[in-house]
Amino acid sequence: MKDQKMEQKSTRKVWQDKAYQMEIPELLRAVESPVETGLSSVDVAKRQAEYGSNALEVEKHSSLLEKFIEQFKDFMIIILLAAAAVSLFASHEWHDAVIILLVVVLNAIMGVIQEAKAEEAIDALKEMASPDAKVRRNGNVETIKSHELVPGDIVLLEAGDIVPADMRLLEANSLKVEEAALTGESVPVDKDIAPITLEDAGIGDRKNMVYSGTNVTYGRAVAVVTAIGMDTEVGHIANMLAHAEKTKTPLQRDQDRLGKSLTIMILAIAAVTFVVGLLRGRAITDMLLVSISLAVAAIPEGLPAISTIILSLGTRSMAERKALVRTLPAVETLGGTQVICSDKTGTLTLNQMTIEKVYFDGKLQDRSVEIPAENPLLRSLVLANDSKLDGEGKLIGDPTETAMVQFALDQHFPLQENESKYPRVQELPFDSSRKLMSTFHPMGGEFLFCTKGAPDQLLQRCSHIVENGEVRPLTEEDRKAILSENTKMAREALRVLAGAYQICNAVPDSPRSEEVEQNLIFAGLVGMIDPERKEAAAAIAVAKGAGVRTVMITGDHAETAQAIAERLGILPMGEDNRCHVLTGAELEMMSDEELEKKVPEISVYARVSPEHKVRIVRAWQKNGKIVSMTGDGVNDAPALKQADIGVGMGITGTEVSKGASDMVLADDNFETIVVAIEEGRKVFSNIQKAVQYLLSANFGEVITLFVATLLGWTILQPVHILWINLVTDVFPAIALGMEKAEPDVMQRKPREKSSSFLSNGVLESILYQGVLEGGLTLFIYWMAGQYFHEENLSETMAFATLGLLQLFHAFNVKSVFRSLFNGNPLDNIYLNGAALLSAFLLLGVIVTPGINQFFDVTPPSLMQWAIVFGISFSIIVFVEIAKAIFRTMRKQA
């Protein structure tokens, strides 16, 4: 992994990779950039020539025509084109060839549309760049377009700016940067200028760096550009997206395998039939037509179209349940998902800091406790706070501060009244070294001094404590009790802040911490966290019951991640789970082979980078698992693309993550993923039913023609096979795609990656059911010849029986093993309608004058029709007996 990284960055300067470790004077000498004046125009021109533009490279997209041609390289499509050619040129059945070609073209058009949408991911990354940047050049402060930046530029940053390039901080005044889209960390990061001594520190630990595409939420800074364009961390993600492995979905792999197997079978049977016929003295042209009939009978030419229709129906159903599918095969892939690698922030959690615990008057209580508006803790947290309500009544500001104000509002605290009554007249802004913020507010003839910040720092400055409205000296026992509660909340991964206040007589013109932040009155503590979504824990439990493993991946610290995982049920409560948590630093030390062995034991990954997420997904895939990756940030995009199915967030997700995803959750609800898995399982089951129906029907036709040829019978003509395929294949198969989910669909284990449409008893069912259909067709042909002594009538009865057998059989495949009569056999109104329509079209050509002459068939008598229907219905009886035997064998096994 490290070797790959070094190889990718071999053209970079040493100082670009080590900027966060270097002392500022050393870095400035290396980059040759004066802080006071910035670069000169000559320097800028040279560096633009050397480093290029500060913009992301976008891979050249193939044209629509190239995309369209690419769709025809699929193996099954090639088979279908060959079948169309045979139908057109050998048997002159142009209508069948036209139908096949329409199916192929429709699939190609849909494939082009889906591929074009997928290319939006990297384009969206390009749009993240800041349009402007404020820099020092030629001794002046200038505003330039961000794409004009070069390494060495001195950039000025302030709250509200989007960072335009990767930069090392030279000066930082109370700087906070929101990096969730890049690192996954849920709260803005406090930045400083001290060098990082840790070798290979992760992005989230480089407190002296700011990165392209992140947002400055608080404070001001001066920084020097260290990387631009594709050399930035966002550029590195874009490069990973552009070179991500393109893997086929399980559905595509299944169709490829099925197509190859069918081809071998078709060629073998057609060749044997052709040779046998010649040996029996039949004409070459006659046997060529028979072989063509066999080929057409064996190929399920409607399968790609039927699969597409079933997937489309699943897509519509998922959209109604807030899961928007961007690529059709993703519907089926969801059903096979075995592992969900989920981002924490915004996916499993709300991405909204919330106060959960509050400590005052010597008691630790949850957020539901009622606190009076005059409570000193509540007032201190609200007044020493920079959050504001916008015109729509929405809180804006630092997530930690907005959480405090929201908590006060939930307590019915009169916010606007207090802001008017106690206006801010002076302040000491937050500083990362002292970790405190203080404000002055007039109160009668005196001033209220409010302070909030880190409990350990604030407690050192307190000399008194308020309890139940009474102020008394702070004792050593009080300090121990407060620190004990602080530790208790911290162990639950809560971020703890303290509040204090003081009444003073005057406000200094230039207040200093060592003078005013002393002898404070301790008011209490609050513990906050980005809480889990209420429905996430239940959804994870449902997924677990369905055999789907949930793995949490986050940029947060290990303790926070572990606590959230325990609350969600990803890790068991009350146990030492540290062995199931892996940090990015620990992962970095592991080889891909070591990670592949370790990955089944790990349920939580913390402080990880985008490369780590991709490695985790690959490790699961190398363990033979079908992996879903969820996420909403830029940092999730490479893993979303690498996964078998990437799931983006529709509300909080960046355009980059949505563009790299196969499915987008319109409600950002983890529960929707589980709903989608259920729908995906139903879709796969229904495609499997369509495959079983089509292949058993086609196999029955092959058996009929092959055995008839061996016996020297002329049982069916090519036009009969083509018509049966046309009217009995498509409609019932599509209707089977609209079957409801079977009751136990979410109690089954996910299918293995190595499984296919033919697994779990389907292949065996296809074989015996095809033999039954072929045998019954051959039987009625023989019987008609024996009793009615009319060759044309025998062919007609065989033709009608084979078609009706398939229509009755469509009801058999509503379940592989479950009895048709366990429920209502006619509960699928679409299948009922399809069977009636197909029967009408099938039998219509037999009884309609003129048309029956074209098909060379003779209308049977009522008795003969009764025999045809009786033999056709018997397929249900025979299959029910076989299912009962299979169920008994499975129970005994």
Which amino acid is present at 315? T
Annotated catalytic, 254? no
Residues whose CB falls within 8 Å of the CB of residue 376, separated by 6 or more in sequence, listed in order: 466, 499, 501, 521, 523, 524
Structure tokens that stand for 746 in this block: 């979410």
Contact 673, 337 (CB under 8 A): no
How many angstroms separate the CA atoms of 881 and 672, rounded?
Answer: 40
**Catalytic member of 190, 231, 343, 398:** 343
Helix (H, G, I), strand (E, B) or coil at 368: coil
**Cα–Cα separations (whole angstroms), residue 796 to 95, 380, 707, 718:** 22, 92, 18, 13
* Helix or strand (DSSP H, E) at 811: helix 791-812
CB atoms within 10 A of CB 654: 25
Burial pattern 167-195, b for ≥16 Cβ within 10 A else e, equals: bbbbebebbbbbbbbbbbbbbbbbbebee
Residues whose CB falls within 8 Å of the CB of residue 665, separated by 6 or more in sequence, listed in order: 322, 323, 324, 630, 647, 648, 649, 650, 672, 673
Contact 708, 714 (CB under 8 A): yes
Residues whose CB falls within 8 Å of the CB of residue 228, separated by 6 or more in sequence, listed in order: 51, 52, 53, 54, 149, 150, 151, 165, 166
How many angstroms separate the CA atoms of 76 and 684, rounded?
Answer: 18
Helix (H, G, I), strand (E, B) or coil at 743: coil
Burial pattern 535-573, b for ≥16 Cβ within 10 A else e, equals: ebbebbebbeebebbbbbbbbbebebbbbbbbbbbbbee
Helix (H, G, I), strand (E, B) or coil at 565: helix
- Write 85-90 long-range contacts (CB < 8 A, 24+): 86/292, 86/295, 86/296, 87/292, 87/296, 87/722, 90/288, 90/289, 90/292
DSSP state of 208: T
Helices (H), 547-644: 558-568, 584-588, 592-598, 610-622, 637-642
CA nearest 449: which of 358, 526, 376, 387? 376
Q: Strand 215-227 vs strand 154-158: parallel, antiparallel, or unpaired? A: antiparallel
* Catalytic residue ranges: 343
